[in-house]
Amino acid sequence: MAEAPYQRIAADLRRRIAAGELRPGDRVPSTRALVREFGVAMATAAKALSALGEQGWVRAVPGSGTVVADRTPVKPPLGREALVRAAIALADAEGIAALSMRRLAAELGVGPMALYRHVPDKDELLRLMADVALGEAELPEPGPAQWRPRLELAGRAQWLAYRRHPWLAPILLNSLVRPPVLAAGLRLVDWSLRALAGTGLKRRVKLQVVMTLNGWVGGLAVSNAFEVQAEQDTGITGDQRLASDMALLAGYLESGRFPVLAEVLTGLEDVDLDEAFEFGLRRQLDGIAVLLGEH
Computed over every residue of the chain, the mean pLDDT equals 86
Q: Is the pLDDT of residue 259 over 90?
A: no
1: pLDDT confidence band, cut at 50, 70 and 90? Answer: low
Q: Is the pLDDT of residue 131 over 90?
A: yes
What's the one-letter identity of residue 257? R
Measured CA to CA, the distance from residue 24 to residue 214 in angstroms comes to 57
Q: Is the pLDDT of residue 150 over 90?
A: yes
286: pLDDT confidence band, cut at 50, 70 and 90? Answer: very high
> What is the dihedral sign for C-alpha 259, 264, 269, 273?
negative
Measured CA to CA, the distance from residue 201 to residue 207 in angstroms comes to 10
- Nearest Cα to Cα of residue 87 among 130, 39, 150, 40: 130
Q: Is the pLDDT of residue 3 over 70?
A: yes
66: left (phi > 0), else alpha (psi -120 to 50), else beta?
Answer: beta
pLDDT reported for residue 34 = 92
240: pLDDT confidence band, cut at 50, 70 and 90? Answer: confident
- ∠ CA(161), CA(164), CA(168), 5° rounding? 65
205-209 average pLDDT score: 95
- Nearest Cα to Cα of residue 277 among 240, 222, 227: 222
Q: Which helix (H) or strand (E) holds 65?
A: strand 65-68
- Nearest Cα to Cα of residue 218 among 145, 133, 144: 133
Q: Looking at the chain, how many residues does it have?
A: 295
The domains located in the chain, with CATH, are: 5-68 (1.10.10.10), 80-134 (1.10.10.60), 147-294 (1.10.357.10)
Q: Lowest mean pLDDT of 80-84, 179-183, 210-214, 229-233, name the range.
A: 229-233
75: pLDDT confidence band, cut at 50, 70 and 90? Answer: low
